[in-house]
Copies of this chain bind each other. A is one copy, B any other.
Amino acid sequence: MASITASYPWTTAPLIAGAPMRLISGPSLVHAISAAGGIGFLAAGTDVSTLSENLSAFKSLLSTSPIPGAPSDVLPIGVGFILWGADLKLAVKALSELPEPPAAVWLFAPSSSEELGSWANGIRSATKNKSKIWVQASCVADAIEAIKVANPDVFVIQGADAGGHGRYASAGLISLVPELIDAVREYYGNLNGGGDTSSFPSPPKFVAAGGIADERGVNAILALGADGAALGTRFLAAEEAVIRKGYQDAVLKAEDGGNNTIRTDVYDKLRGTIGWPEGYGGRGVINLSYVDAIKGVSFEENEKLYKVAEGAGDKGWEEGNARMTTYAGTAVGLVKKVAKAGDIVRELRGQRI
């Protein structure tokens, strides 16, 4: 069975993916991650309208700084979509126009299985099967359902520790990775007449996400059976991230991630983000907005205070005043310095910088 890096020939094992963080994972960040032998995912998120522009910006970077080993028929990056909010037709149009589509497309948070199936088919057709389909799953049930409708090339196994949006009902990677992999392999084995799964033509690969911030986490998910690691929170402290200084400083400062982050819908409501399918919440650092919501401060009052903080710029993240959202996973306490994304990737692979 070929290793996952064989499908992305510019990458180095173990595979490190930069998660498509909405608004944050832009052309410079994904270029830096891929240039270091990882795979950066550009965030299309829920708004596909900026995708073509971002892809053009990436291609400019690529022409100035080519990535050795990148194939000629695909771009050496991925693109991530948040399915409930993104427009499939626009996505198909943007991708169809590209002579070289992205090497991978990461599909997250469909409203329904049907929607996931439509996206997988739509993207495969738009990219003439050149883009590998990565599907995010945070439980076994989702993974099995995804096989039926989308036949993923790669599963992104999202654990409960992940920052930003994910399922409330989820497990940490320590149990989720082995259980999900076993269940998917068993399912493929049964499809394959109950025989040895290794003879199945293209069993999916598995990339784990949620709670990984350094080489130890990467080695742990490899021990659990994953083929690679995806990280968001660690790249919030990348020099190339598109992120407010107040947000980045709050990430560097946060400690004791299990104790000081929470998965909730409080931040979505205050930010006016509506539409996430039932069962999803966003994990972020606990701040005054959350504390007040739990205390019973009315939404109107809490929103008023949030707007004041929003108007205060970076100070809206500062202690005593912190009401701006700091989406981050429980690994936030392991993130202590800003670094070049390429150095982060190399450190994650265990190289000395």
Contacts and interface: CB of A to CB of B under 8 A. Distances in A.
Contact of A176 (B170, B176, B221, B330): B330
Nearest to A178: B216
A334 B178 contact: yes
Given A160-B172, A174-B174, A217-B174, A257 B223 contact: no
Copies in the complex: 2
Interface in A160-179: 160-161, 167, 169-179
A140 interface: yes
Contacts of A141: 256, 259
A224 B210 CA distance: 14
A256 B179 contact: yes
A209 to B, nearest CB: 10
B175 A211 contact: yes
A284 to B, nearest CB: 14
Nearest to A142: B259
Contacts of A220: 174, 220-221, 223-224
11 contacts: A159-B174, A160-B172, A171-B258, A172-B172, A172-B210, A174-B220, A175-B258, A178-B214, A183-B333, A216-B224, A223-B223
Given A139-B259, A216-B224, 4 more contacts: A139-B256, A141-B256, A171-B331, A175-B330
Interface pairs A-B: 5 shortest CB-CB: A172-B172, A171-B258, A171-B330, A174-B211, A219-B223
